[in-house]
Amino acid sequence: MSNPTHLIAGEHGDSSITDWAERQGYKVKFMHRPTGHIVEFPAVISDFTDNHVPAMESRYGGNQHDPMTTQTGTGRNISFTLSIVNSSIEEARYNTQCTNLLIQMLYPSLDTQNTFVGKPIINIQLMNLLDGNETGDGVDCIVENIEYSVDFDEGIINGNRGVPALNASGKEIYPTSVKINISGRTVLQTVGDNGEANPFSTNNIYGG
């Protein structure tokens, strides 16, 4: 049995934003639960939303303005956009492997008959914004959509063998900047010891 892979994007980019992210500890980490594969990126986040949605059932009585509500649960929906920038062909190739692994995390583990056996649940740790439950080591998420967008106006990197060979390297094309939007729901299964539905660590949910 081989070991899980652990990739860290930007390892080849000493002149890029990676260095700043490293010094500040701005990182986002994804772990594929069925296999244990991990990939980390510098947390260049352009937006982040975290919706906590209580599920309520409402009933209405006669001559009553206000509903009688019953809470049946709470969902937490997250969405954020991660930018991945490349400063060289080497960094672009390596970062592409990292984004490939992130995309592959949307797929399950299979048995010998190619039946889905391991649900592709992804543990996401985004600094203090997604810090996790009691153990504070990330949040398990059902990622429903990954949107991979290329901004061609910011330029591309390709074979880099001199311009005649830019043409010749036609197979390789790496965007200077890629935006990856990730949206999904968190898996919350922990109930606090005090009986209240607080699935977060004892600290503030968002730190501070």
Partner 1 sequence: MALRPTPDQSSYIDDVPSLAEHQRLQEEIVAEGGNPIQDTATMQFANEVTPLQSPEDTMPSELPYNHAATTRFIVAHTLYPSLRLRSNDQDWFECYIHPTSYQESFKSRWSAEDSSDGYLNQQFSYGGTERAVSLSFVLPAVSVKQARFNLTQCSNMSDMVYGKYRNLRVEPDQIRVLAGEKTFRADFGSLIRDEKVVVSKFSFSVDPDAGAFDYDGSVVDSEGTPIDSDVTHSTKGLLLPKQISVDVEFIFIHDDALGFGGSNRIPGIGDLKWAENRNRDWPHGTGHIHVQDYMRANNITEDTDIEDIRGEDGEELTQEQKNAVFRSRYEGLRTIGEGPE
Among the listed residues 45, 40, 105, 38, the one whose alpha carbon sits nearest the alpha carbon of residue 79: 45
The footprint of partner 1 on residues 156-195 (CB under 8 A) is 156-160, 162-176, 185, 187-191
Calculate the alpha carbon distances from 172 to 82, 125, 163, 200 in Å: 23, 31, 14, 44
Check: CB of residue 176 under 8 Å from CB of residue 154: yes
197 binds partner 1 (CB under 8 A): yes
Check: CB of residue 35 under 8 Å from CB of residue 109: yes
**Structure tokens of 193?**
């010891």
Q: Closer to partner 1 at the Cβ: 24 or 36? A: 36
Q: Using CA atoms, how far apart are residues 61 and 199, in angstroms rounded to an integer? A: 33
- For partner 1, how many residues bind (rule: CB under 8 A)? 80
134 binds partner 1 (CB under 8 A): no
The footprint of partner 1 on residues 78-107 (CB under 8 A) is 89-90, 93-94, 96-97, 99-101, 103-104, 106-107
Sequence letter at residue 39:
V
1 binds partner 1 (CB under 8 A): yes
- Looking at 19, 57, 137, 147, which residue binds partner 1 (CB under 8 A)? 147
The footprint of partner 1 on residues 2-41 (CB under 8 A) is 2-5, 7, 32, 34-37
Q: Closer to partner 1 at the Cβ: 24 or 75? A: 75
110 binds partner 1 (CB under 8 A): yes
